[in-house]
Amino acid sequence: MAAADVQHPPTGPTSTEAAPGVPDYLASPNAVFNDEGVKWRYGRAPDYSKTRKVWEEGKKMNHAAGSLPQLVENLVKNWEVEASFKPRLEDWRTIDHKNYSFAINGGPPQSGEHMLRVGTYNAIIAPNEYYSPENSDFASSHKTFKRMMPTFAWEVTEVYSGPPQVAFKWRHWGVMKNDYVGFNDKGEKIVAKAHGGPIEIYGVTVARVDDKVRLQDVDTWFDPLDMFRQIAPHGIVNKTPMNRKVDLEAALDAGFNTSAQPVAVTQTLAERTIPDNNGVKIADQHNQPGNQSTAPEDTTRKQTSNSTGQPADAFVPYQSTDTNKAAAEPTPSSSAPASQLVEAAATQGAQAEVEHPESNFHDAREQQAAEEDSGNATDKSEQSQVPASSGVTRSIYSSSVTGNVEDRIKSGQTGKPVNGTSPTEPTDTGTYDAIDKHLDGSAEQVHPHSHETEDAVRPEAGEAIAVPARAEETRMTHEEMSTISSSECPFLMNRE
């Protein structure tokens, strides 16, 4: 581990031209904590000192001051703080607002507004047998994961390419100190006992950046079930059917310790069962006078960095670098501003001049409005945001392969193309083939099956067909119906 945070760089560039200043969100992982005039989710900047302490002691990589891996690591850490704790998109400084989007595992690109509404966990995790964003709101999602694993440190392990297209591998790790309690894709409450062991996941991200090395297109790939397999290495230990018409945070607390009380129903049957996932609305409620609550990170005491002697989340340019590593040698590359900035940072190391770029949110909105007035609005801005009034929720199963499911639904409903999706797309594009012909056939052709039962019973039109007790269909139906809870199917009175 490093003994000091400040590294003396090699001799600077011989060029008489002034080197560009390095944005503060590249120089330190804690730059945005000091932003003034911004709105924080819990009324104040969060305390990441314990997480930074765990990162410093558990990281596998020691990047040189000003090296590309360290710049990328600091950028993503500042982005994560903004995405989790700045409920106003205009306060985000780490993204290029006009061109920003975020996608997981080849899924459809999502806007910054989407992540603010549903929360970082719900925007990244697809519904599965352990957890479902559809059955968790913003507050309960943070309680589920932050209570189980109080710190979840993150580092860059490898960088494969530099600006403007930055590809890198990352590592996320922590310790399961408390029970995992969450709601899965069937609405069941899942409890996995704390094992006190490590949880570690890896992934790859490809991000396009602008001339200030702000994030634009961000595409991330990782195994979404890897973390859950480590949470419950021997399988799920407890599943409880839950009435979805309850306070989600209270439901998480029920049974978490012996003093927990039964969860009371807080909604009538006539009310919606879908939780309110709007993180912006929740943040506004938290910031009302008298409603301020404690942020998850604020429950931990300040930690002191071993290498600086300062609080671990204090702003220290090029924090925790390896003093035995020389800064990267400048290499010839393109004259793009982002590349020049990275080269200057690598050449000057810890002596690089640090700047404080402001958010370009308002500039992006003004430019977008001007383009819309002139009729030259880019398709990018239209595709990255789903209209709130569309009436069709974006499916997490939409991808570059399957297309946008909600667009196909709307196209089928209206009979008109939506964002390039048409109900007669194969014919329109000339790709109509044998598979399309087969799917357009009769039900008997698409789903052929034996007619032995129908021939034996000979039902009249509208009559049901009895399936033999030993039939495979009977067995499968019985298994499926046996897993349905009363909360999912209220009319199953006697479980018959």
Domains in the chain, ordered, with CATH?
22-355 (3.10.450.50)
Does 454 or 156 have the greater pLDDT score?
Answer: 156
Residue 283's nearest CA partner among 473, 487, 142, 74 is 142
Output the DSSP codes for 199-246: EEEEEEEEEEE-TT--EEEEEEEE-TTHHHHHHSTT---EEEE--SSB
Our measurement of the distance from residue 55's CA atom to the centroid of its chain's CA atoms, rounded to an integer in Å, reads 20
Phi, psi at 52, each rounded to 5°? -65, -35
- Is the pLDDT confidence value at 388 over 90? no
CA distance 120 to 262: 29
Q: Flag the least confident range among 226-230, 237-241, 485-489.
A: 485-489
Mean pLDDT of 468-488: 70
pLDDT at residue 441 in the model: 73
pLDDT at residue 204 in the model: 97
pLDDT at residue 318 in the model: 75
pLDDT at residue 261 in the model: 35
Residue type, 98: K
Does 411 or 441 have the greater pLDDT score?
Answer: 441
- Is the pLDDT confidence value at 397 over 90? no
CA distance 390 to 295: 34
- Is the pLDDT confidence value at 390 over 90? no
This prediction's pTM: 0.67
- Give the chain's length: 496
pLDDT at residue 49 in the model: 92
DSSP 296: G
pLDDT at residue 338 in the model: 87
pLDDT at residue 419 in the model: 58
Half-sphere exposure of 204 (CA within 13 A, CB side): 8
pLDDT at residue 211 in the model: 94
pLDDT at residue 294 in the model: 56
pLDDT at residue 311 in the model: 84
- Is the pLDDT confidence value at 156 over 80? yes
**Among 276-280, 321-325, 397-401, which range has the highest average pLDDT?**
276-280
Residue 351: pLDDT band by 50, 70, 90 thresholds? Answer: confident
Whether 260 and 254 have beta carbons less than 8 Å apart is answered as yes
Does 491 or 265 have the greater pLDDT score?
Answer: 491
Residue 405: pLDDT band by 50, 70, 90 thresholds? Answer: low
CA distance 115 to 439: 37
Q: Flag the least confident range among 106-120, 160-174, 336-350.
A: 336-350
**Among 4-13, 98-107, 128-137, 406-415, which range has the highest average pLDDT?**
98-107
- Is the pLDDT confidence value at 450 over 80? no
Edge to edge, the sheet with strand 152-161 lists 101-104, 215-222, 198-209, 165-175, 152-161
- Is the pLDDT confidence value at 344 over 90? no
CA distance 147 to 442: 53
Please, what is the average pLDDT of the chain? Answer: 76
CA distance 231 to 130: 10
Phi, psi at 99, each rounded to 5°? -120, 15
Preceding omega of 69 cis (within 30 degrees of 0): no
Residue 199: pLDDT band by 50, 70, 90 thresholds? Answer: very high
- Is the pLDDT confidence value at 230 over 90? yes
Whether 242 and 487 have beta carbons less than 8 Å apart is answered as yes
pLDDT at residue 254 in the model: 67
CA distance 258 to 319: 43
Q: Which helix (H) or strand (E) holds 139?
A: helix 138-148
Q: How far is CA 319 from CA 16, 92, 458, 479, 481, in A?
A: 28, 22, 79, 56, 57
